[in-house]
Amino acid sequence: MALSVTFFPGSLTTNAVWYGCDLSKRKFHGDLITDSELICGQLENFDGGVFHPMVLPVVFAGFEREKHIGTARKCLTQFVQRIHDLAHQDLRSMNGNEGFMRSESNKLEDCAPLMKGGCLASYFRLVSSLIHSKAAKPVSQPKTNSYQPQEEQEPAVLLWQNIRFLRIGLQNWQAQLRKMIDHIDQLHDTDFGLPVAARVPNSQTRLHILQEVGGRLKTRLQDLVDEYDEYIRQCTHIMDGLTLETQLELNSIGRKDARINQEISRVNLEVAQMTRLDGSLMKSIAMLCMVFFPTTFVSIS
Q: What's the pLDDT at 47?
A: 81
Average pLDDT over residues 79-91: 70
| Alpha-carbon span 93 to 80, nearest angstrom | 20
Average pLDDT over residues 158-182: 90
% of the chain at pLDDT higher than 70: 70
Q: Which residue has the higher pLDDT, 94 or 55?
A: 55
* Residue 164 reports pLDDT greater than 80: yes
37 pLDDT band, cuts 50/70/90, is: confident
The whole-chain average pLDDT of the chain stands at 76
Lowest mean pLDDT segment, chosen from 68-72, 220-224, 227-231: 68-72
For residue range 99-113, list pLDDT tens digits in order: 555 555 555 555 455
* Residue 93 reports pLDDT greater than 80: no
Q: What's the pLDDT at 31?
A: 79
Q: What's the pLDDT at 115?
A: 46
Q: What's the pLDDT at 226?
A: 94
For residue range 259-295, list pLDDT tens digits in order: 898 889 888 888 888 888 888 778 777 777 777 766 6
Q: Which residue has the higher pLDDT, 190 or 93?
A: 190
In the chain, where are the structural domains located? Answer: 2-99+155-289
Question: Residue 229 contacts by C-beta under 8 Å, 6 or more apart in sequence?
Answer: 174
* Residue 207 reports pLDDT greater than 60: yes
Average pLDDT over residues 184-198: 77
Indicate the pTM of the whole model: 0.62
Q: What's the pLDDT at 76?
A: 83
For residue range 4-18, list pLDDT tens digits in order: 999 888 777 889 998
Pairs from 236-244 (Cβ < 8 Å, separation ≥ 24): 236/167, 238/76, 238/79, 238/80, 238/83, 238/163, 239/160, 239/163, 239/164, 239/167, 241/79, 241/80, 241/83, 242/79, 242/83, 242/156, 242/159, 242/160, 242/163, 243/160
For CA atoms 237, 239, 243, 245, the dihedral sign is positive
